[in-house]
Amino acid sequence: MRHLMSPLDFSVEELDKLLTLASDIEKNPKKYAHICDDKRLATCFYEPSTRTRLSFEAAMMNLGGKVLGFSSADSSSAAKGESVADTIRVVSCYADICAMRHPKEGAPLVASMYSSIPVINAGDGGHQHPTQTLTDLLTIRSLKGRLNNLTIGLCGDLKFGRTVHSLIEALVRYTGIRFYLISPEELRVPSYIREDVLNRNHVSYTEVERLEEAIPELDILYMTRVQRERFFNEEDYVRMKDFYVLDKAKMELAREDMFVLHPLPRVNEISVEVDNDPRAAYFRQAQYGVYVRMALILTLLEVELPC
C-alpha cells in the first residue's frame, strides 16, 4: 500500500505514468466514469480549504465513487481531543482512501503510519502540498508538451511559498530546466533551496527583482500570492502585497507561447484584464487539478484500468 506525502515520493518514471493517465482521463472521461463505483474517499480536512477539498471530491465523483468527511477540526472528533492516529484508524473502517489536510506539519505522515488505507497529504501547514505540485506539472506538460528544456519564471513570495519550493524540487529532476526567480529582496527563495536543490543539481537560475526583465525569456510564468499570515507586522505585508501586478502591458512583453500559472486564490498580483488572454492558464490549471487527483486516486487504489 502506498501513500502520497511529498511530490518526490514518485520517481520521474512513476510521475510520467501518473501524468499520462491524467491526460487520458482528460481525453476520455467516460471511460473512467464508473471505475470507482464501489469506492469511498474520506476527506479529513482539519482546516478550511475550498479548492483542494472540492477538487478531491469532484475527482472521486467523476470516477463514480462516493465521498464522506469533515471540513474543519471543529466538526471532527479532534475538537474532543482525539489524536490523528486514532482518527485515521476509525476512518480506515469507513473509506477506501483518505485525503487529509491538517495545520500541523507531518500530521498526514502520522496518519499514514496508523492507516490501513492509502493516505494523501492534501496540505500540512507550510510543509508540503504534493497534489498542487502534481497539478502544476500536469498543467505545464499539457500546455507545453514537455517537462524538460523549459525556462520557468517564479514570481512573488518565493520565501514562504511552499508551492514554489515543491515545484522547484520536482522540476530539477528534468533536464534543460532554467529558472528566473523574481522577487523582492525580502522574499527571495530560502538559502537551502538555492544551495541544496538548485546548486546541488547544477540547475541554472537567475534572481531578478523586476518582472519586466525576465518575462520575455519565459516559457512559463508562475505567479504567487503574498500571504498575509506569513508576516509578523501588517506594515511589511502592505509594502509587499502589491509588489508585482501582472497586467496587459507586461503581458505584451511576453512570448506568444508563454503561459501564466497561479495556484490560486489570486488577489491583486494578476489583474483581471489578463484573464481573457489565451495565455492565462490558471483556471485551466484548476481543471487539471481534478484530472491529476483522479489519476492519483486510481494509482493509489491500484484500480485495474480500462483498455
Partner 1 sequence: MLNVGALNEGFVLDHIKAGKAMTIYHDLHLDKLDCTVAMIMNARSNKLGKKDIIKVECPIDQLDLDIVGFIDHNITVNIIKDSKIVEKQELKLPKKIVNVMRCKNPRCITSIEQGLDQVFLLSDPEKEVYRCKYCEEKYRGHRNK
Annotated catalytic sites, by residue?
51-52, 80, 101, 129
**Min dist. Cβ of residue 54 to partner 1 (A):** 25
Cell of 94: 469507513
**Min dist. Cβ of residue 5 to partner 1 (A):** 10
User: Are the beta carbons of 103 and 72 closer than 8 angstroms?
Assistant: no
When asked if residue 29 is in the footprint of partner 1 (CB under 8 A), the reply is no
Which position among 19, 36, 109, 295 is part of the footprint of partner 1 (CB under 8 A)? 109
When asked if residue 105 is in the footprint of partner 1 (CB under 8 A), the reply is yes
- For helices 51-62 and 282-301, the axis angle rounded to 10 degrees is 60
When asked if residue 107 is in the footprint of partner 1 (CB under 8 A), the reply is yes
**Min dist. Cβ of residue 227 to partner 1 (A):** 14
Q: Rounded CA gap, 240 and 251, in Å?
A: 21
When asked if residue 83 is in the footprint of partner 1 (CB under 8 A), the reply is yes
Q: Rounded CA gap, 218 and 243, in Å?
A: 20
When asked if residue 84 is in the footprint of partner 1 (CB under 8 A), the reply is yes
**Min dist. Cβ of residue 124 to partner 1 (A):** 8
When asked if residue 88 is in the footprint of partner 1 (CB under 8 A), the reply is no
CB-wise, 7 or 289, nearer to partner 1? 7
When asked if residue 164 is in the footprint of partner 1 (CB under 8 A), the reply is no
CB-wise, 83 or 271, nearer to partner 1? 83
Which position among 12, 85, 90, 267 is part of the footprint of partner 1 (CB under 8 A)? 85
Which position among 39, 40, 127, 262 is part of the footprint of partner 1 (CB under 8 A)? 127
- The burial class, CB within 10 Å (0-12 / 13-18 / 19+), for 175 is exposed
Q: Which of 183, 169, 162, 182 is nearest to 263 (CA)?
A: 162
When asked if residue 196 is in the footprint of partner 1 (CB under 8 A), the reply is yes
Count of residues that interact with partner 1, criterion CB under 8 A: 16
Q: Which of 58, 15, 26 is nearest to 288 (CA)?
A: 26
User: Are the beta carbons of 55 and 289 closer than 8 angstroms?
Assistant: yes
User: ∠ at Cα 263 (63, 9), nearest 5°?
Assistant: 65
Q: Which of 257, 279, 258, 263 is nearest to 180 (CA)?
A: 258
Taking CB under 8 A as the binding criterion, the range among 98-106, 166-174, 239-247, 299-307 that sits at the site for partner 1 is: 98-106
When asked if residue 220 is in the footprint of partner 1 (CB under 8 A), the reply is no
When asked if residue 158 is in the footprint of partner 1 (CB under 8 A), the reply is no
When asked if residue 3 is in the footprint of partner 1 (CB under 8 A), the reply is no
Neighbours of 203 (CB within 10 A): 18
CB-wise, 108 or 263, nearer to partner 1? 108
Bridge partners (DSSP) of residue 261 are: 222
- The burial class, CB within 10 Å (0-12 / 13-18 / 19+), for 207 is middle
> What does the binding site for partner 1 look like in residue numbers (CB under 8 A)?
83-85, 102-107, 109-110, 124-127, 196
